[in-house]
Amino acid sequence: MKFFISSCTSLLWVVFLVSCMADEESSEEAVEEEDALNADDSKEFCYDDSKGCGPRNWPGSCQGGQYQSPINLPYDPRDHRRNARLADLSQSNNYFNEQRFNLTNNGHTVQVSLQDDLTSTCLLDGSLLNNQPYVFSQLHFHWGSSDDRGSEHTLTNGGYNYAFPMEAHLVHYSAEFNSFTEALNSNKYGAIAVVGVFFEPADRDNNALTPIINAMRNVRNPKTKTGGSRLNLSWFLFQSDQKDVDIIQYYGSLTTPNCNEGVLWNVVAFPAPISYRQMRSFRTMVLDSEGKNLVNNYRPIQPTNSNRKIYAVRSSVKRRQN
């Protein structure tokens, strides 16, 4: 009997070792892909001001820019509905169809890009975006080490500021340009449009996040990339069956160096759910460049100067067949 138990134990050890070896193999694959990553992603900045690379020392417009992001956004749902300009936000076919994606840990965040070139078809437009089509470029996240921090924007209502544990940014560029970089370098107002989505803790998993979290286990180390299954951007953007969303719109900046201005921000005021378990995955599954859990990757709130216009927009979401 003793022998039986010990041979079972050794069998378990063999199974364990084989599975470890398999794990090692997949992480090696990920490291090999490191070289293929865009050199832009390796710019050395961090979120910790006790080191030289924190937000206080970020370069470019990050210092001295007049229209920086993120900011505190005033939001009173009753006022919002009374004063809101009505607009529509249309999504083309490929925005609401499932797409194959890649996930990258660039040391600052996890970032989703689409595998297929859908630059002519994965579009957002509508009067919310001044009827200009915008091409989806990438989607990434900012999150905190606890539930009271993590979002970049905050909402202010009745004298209180609300931060959320996570905020997603869906980055787009105007279809008049050939690439995100070309749009950025144009310095034109509205060349880049970002949709911001807050997440709030909930008991049930948010299925829109599942494919991303599943892929996260393959990008534990910074500068690694993996292929994901399929992702529906539309689910991501507008949760459940909401047809109308409150959006807060203003002109600000990128929230990472060089903090380029002229970015058209569209922050969805109503948070999407993320389960506690899923939130824990973000906090523990990916490492930063120092080998620590990647958390608190949000830029602090920037001053809102007095002549800055912040619009309330009540937006109806439409689907357009292309």
Active site residue 108: yes
What's the token pair of residue 211? Answer: 């494919």
Element (H, E) at 94: helix 93-96
Residue (153 or 169) nearer to Zn ion, CB: 169
Cis? peptide before 258, omega within 30° of 0: yes
Residue (73 or 88) nearer to Zn ion, CB: 73
Note whether 297 and 47 are within 8 A (CB): yes
Count the Cβ atoms, other than its own, within 10 Å of residue 61. Answer: 18
Give the nearest residue (CB) to Zn ion.
169
What's the token pair of residue 166? Answer: 């996570």
Residue (88 or 288) nearer to Zn ion, CB: 288
Classify residue 258 by burial, with Cβ atoms within 10 Å: 0-12, 13-18, 19+: middle
Per-residue mark of binding to Zn ion, 153-182 (x: CB under 5 A)? ----------------x-------------
Residue (239 or 297) nearer to Zn ion, CB: 297
Q: How far is the CB of 14 from Zn ion (least distance, A)?
A: 45
| Distance between CA atoms of residues 267 and 285, nearest Å | 27
Q: Where are the alpha helices (DSSP H) in 206-245?
A: 210-216, 233-237
CA angle 8, 12, 17 (to 5 degrees): 150
Residue (35 or 40) nearer to Zn ion, CB: 40
Catalytic residue among 108, 153, 169, 172: 108
What's the token pair of residue 94? Answer: 């490929």
Closest CA to 251 of 309, 313, 321, 319: 309
Residue with tokens 């965040």: 109
Query: How many residues touch Zn ion (CB under 5 A)?
Result: 1
The footprint of Zn ion on residues 77-106 (CB under 5 A) is none
Element (H, E) at 139: strand 134-143
Summarize as ranges the residues that interact with Zn ion (CB under 5 A): 169
Q: Which residues belong to the active site? A: 108
